[in-house]
Amino acid sequence: MVTASPAMVAEENAAPRRGGAFRWLVVAILFVGYCFSAIDARVLTLMVEPIQNDLGLTDFEMGLLQGFAFSILYSMAALPIGRYVDRAKRRSMLIFWGVLFWSLMTAMCGFASSFVGLFIARVGVGVGEATLSPTAYSLISDYFERKRRALAISFYAIGYPIGGGLALLIGGWLITHFTKQGGLILPLLGDFEPWQAVFLCVAAPGILVAAAMLLIREPPRQELAKELAQRSTLREGFDYVMQRKVLFGSLIGSLGLIALLAIGTALWFPTFLIRTYAMSPGEVGMYYGGVMLVCGTIGTLFGGWLSGRLMHSGRADANMRIVLFSTLLKGFPLILAPLMPTATLALAMMGLGTLIGQASQGVMLAAIQDVTPNQLRGQVTAIALLAVNLLGMGLGASVIAAITDFGFGDQGALRYSIAITGAVTLPLILVMLVAALPHYRRAVEQLSS
C-alpha cells in the first residue's frame, strides 16, 4: 500500500472529521442537487405535444429525446467520471462544474429550434448530471460510518422522486402560465415559445445550486483496501472486482433487475389505469402520483432508519437483509396490483408494494458502498448506474410492451404483461441476493478489519 506523504497527512488533519451536524448539511446540499437534476431531466415529459407542434417531431423522435439522448450518454459518461471521483483531491468541484454544465444545457434546450439542436442539448444534460451520483455516494460514504450510511444515502436518494414530482408541479404551472402569456420576450435574446420559456426558467436556479456545492469540504477517505494503492490503476481495480465477481455481479445484476421492474411498472402503470378503469390522465396524475410520492418517500426513509437500528443491534449484514426481505414481501402486492377488479384496490396494492419495495432503494446502494474499497467506489457506482440505466430505462418499458404486443397481441392485456414481468423478475432478483449474502458478509468483515 502506498505510504501517505506529509502533505497528504496534513490535508487529512485539516479536513472535516466524521460526525456532527455538518455532514447532514452536506446530505441536504446533495439532496437539493438531486432534486434539481430530476426537474431538469423530467420536465420535458410535460411538453411533448407543444414541442411536436412547433418542431414537427414524431413520437419516435420524442422518445429519443426523453430516453436515449439522456440515459445512454449519462451511462457512458458515468464510467470515466467514476474513475475521476476515485482519484480527485476535491470531489465537490466535479459536482460544481457538473451542475453548471447541465443547467447551461437545460437552458440551451430553450434555444433549440430543431430536433438536432434539442437532441445535442439533452445529451449535454445527461453528461452533466452523470457527475452527481457517483460523487455524492462517494462523499456520503466518507462522511458517515456504516451504521448511519444507509439512512444518509436514503435521504439523498429521495431527491429524485421528489424532484420528479416537482418537475410535474412546477413545469405544469410554468407551461400554463407562459401559454396564457403567449410565450416570453427577453431583451436582446428575442421571443421564446412557452415550452422554451419553461426550460429557461428551470435552468436558472442552477447557478445557486452549483454555488452551494462549494460549501462541501473534502472528508478524509475511509475504508481503504490494503491490497490497493491510494490511487489504484484500472488493472488493479478490475482484478479486485473479478476476484469477487459473484458478489459484485449479484449486487449489480439484482440492482439492474430491480430497476427494470420498478421503471417498467412506473412507466406503464398510468396507461394501465387509463385503459383498464377508464381513469382520466388528470385523475391518474393526482392519485397515482400522490401514492408514489408518499409511499416512496416513507419507504425509502424507513429502510435507511431500519438499517441503522439493525446495525446497532449487531447485524453487520443489515443492508442485505433489508433488501432481501423487502424484495420478497413486495412481490405479492406488485404482482396482484394490475389484476385487481377496481382502480382503488389496484392503487392500494401498488402503494403497499411501493412502501415495502422502496425500503431497499437507498439501502441497496449503501450495501454496494459497504463492500467497495474507497479507491473503487466511484467506478463501481458508475457501473451500477450503468446497469440501472441500461436495464431499467432501456429494457423496463420495452419488455412489458413486447409481452403485450407480441405475446398477447392485445393492448387490453397490459395488466397481465405487468403482472408477468413481476412474476418472472422477482424470483431472479431473490436468487441473486441469496447468492450474494455469504460473500457480502465476508467482504464487510474484510473491509472493516
Span 104-123, pLDDT tens digits: 999 999 999 888 999 999 88
pLDDT value of residue 243: 83
Reply yes or no on whether the pLDDT at 249 is more than 60: yes
3-state secondary structure of 192: strand
pLDDT bracket for residue 233 (50, 70, 90): low
Contacts of 330 (CB under 8 A, 6+ apart): 353, 354, 356, 357, 426
How many C-beta atoms surround the C-beta of residue 120 within 10 A?
A: 15
Instruction: State the Cα angle at 332 between 328 and 333, rounded to 5°.
Output: 115
Separation between Cα atoms, residue 4 and residue 14, nearest integer Å: 15
Pick from 185, 155, 52: nearest CA to 361:
155
Q: For residues 54 and 195, is the Cβ–Cβ distance under 8 A?
A: yes
Reply yes or no on whether the pLDDT at 322 is more than 50: yes
Same fold, 19-218 and 234-449: yes
Reply yes or no on whether the pLDDT at 103 is more than 80: yes
Amino acid found at 419: A
The pLDDT tens digits of the residues spanning 47-69 come to 777 888 888 877 667 766 766 67
Q: For residues 231 and 377, is the Cβ–Cβ distance under 8 A?
A: no
Reply yes or no on whether the pLDDT at 7 is more than 60: no
pLDDT value of residue 1: 38
The pLDDT tens digits of the residues spanning 390-434 come to 777 667 767 887 888 888 888 788 899 899 999 999 999 999 999
Separation between Cα atoms, residue 441 and residue 214, nearest integer Å: 37
3-state secondary structure of 193: coil
C-alpha cell at 316: 453487520
Pick from 86, 354, 117: nearest CA to 225:
86
C-alpha cell at 137: 455516494
Q: For residues 304 and 155, is the Cβ–Cβ distance under 8 A?
A: yes
The pLDDT tens digits of the residues spanning 165-219 come to 787 778 878 888 888 888 788 887 878 888 899 999 999 999 999 999 999 999 9
pLDDT value of residue 13: 41
C-alpha cell at 347: 392503487
pLDDT value of residue 140: 92
pLDDT value of residue 393: 67
> H-helix or E-strand containing 74?
helix 73-85
CATH number of the domain located at residue range(s) 234-449 in this protein: 1.20.1250.20
pLDDT bracket for residue 84 (50, 70, 90): confident
Q: For residues 224 and 373, is the Cβ–Cβ distance under 8 A?
A: yes
pLDDT bracket for residue 2 (50, 70, 90): very low
Pick from 65, 336, 376: nearest CA to 227:
376
pLDDT value of residue 410: 83
pLDDT value of residue 433: 93
pLDDT value of residue 5: 39
- Domain 19-218 CATH assignment equals 1.10.1790.20: no
Q: Which class for 53: exposed (0-12), middle (13-18), buried (19 or more C-beta within 10 A)?
A: exposed
pLDDT value of residue 329: 93
Pick from 141, 411, 165: nearest CA to 276:
411
User: Any idea where the domains of the chain sit in the sequence?
Assistant: 19-218, 234-449
